[in-house]
Amino acid sequence: MPRLKQGLVVAGLIIALDQLSKYAVTQTFMLGDYVTVTSFFDLVRAHNTGAAFSLFADQAGWQRAFFISTALIASAIIIHLLRRESGSVLFKLALSLILGGALGNLIDRILHGYVVDFLSFHIQQHYWPAFNVADSAITIGALLLVWDSLKKPRKP
């Protein structure tokens, strides 16, 4: 059970950072407002009703229930995996990051019907889709899962 507690603490920290940063953005910016921070990075307020990279954002509304359901199912599976004694520390950290990110975005979807994004990177006029702390945690967690799987010894 200690690994579960540690995982939930990590997930809780991600949720707190995510929600605090989104709160600061929504209190400071109107939708569409932005501030140029560097030549390649802006802070912006964007609302995403879709998935990563605004996938399905232009749909009629079915995606909200779908993404809420998906996040709840994924979170239950991750908590189940965190409860198991097997798995490396890296594996558990990765799952915890993904859990925190999924729940951070889930909170937005339930409260607002969209996810607040605010980190915007670009090269000249070519912009990467805006994202947030939760998205970053999910991405880092997924990369750590890949890394962990590559570190495992191969069976002959």
Please, are residues 63 and 114 in contact by the beta-carbon 8 Å criterion?
no
Q: Could you confirm whether 148 is annotated as catalytic?
A: no
Please give the Cα distance from 70 to 80 (Å, whole number): 15
Q: Select which of 18, 108, 117, 148 is catalytic.
A: 117
Q: Point out the catalytic residue in the list 18, 108, 135, 148.
A: 135
- Give the residue extent of every domain in the chain: 2-151
Block residue for tokens 């994202």: 131
Question: Reduced to 3 states, what is the DSSP secondary structure of residue 58?
Answer: coil
- Give the residue ranges of DSSP H helices in 85-132: 89-112
Separation between Cα atoms, residue 11 and residue 20, nearest integer Å: 14
The model's pTM is 0.89
Residue type, 148: D
* pLDDT by residue, tens only, the chain of 156 residues: 567 889 999 999 999 999 999 999 999 999 989 999 999 999 999 998 766 655 555 555 667 788 889 999 999 999 999 998 778 899 999 999 999 999 999 999 999 999 999 999 999 889 888 999 999 999 999 999 999 988 877 666
Task: Note if 58 is an active site residue.
Answer: no
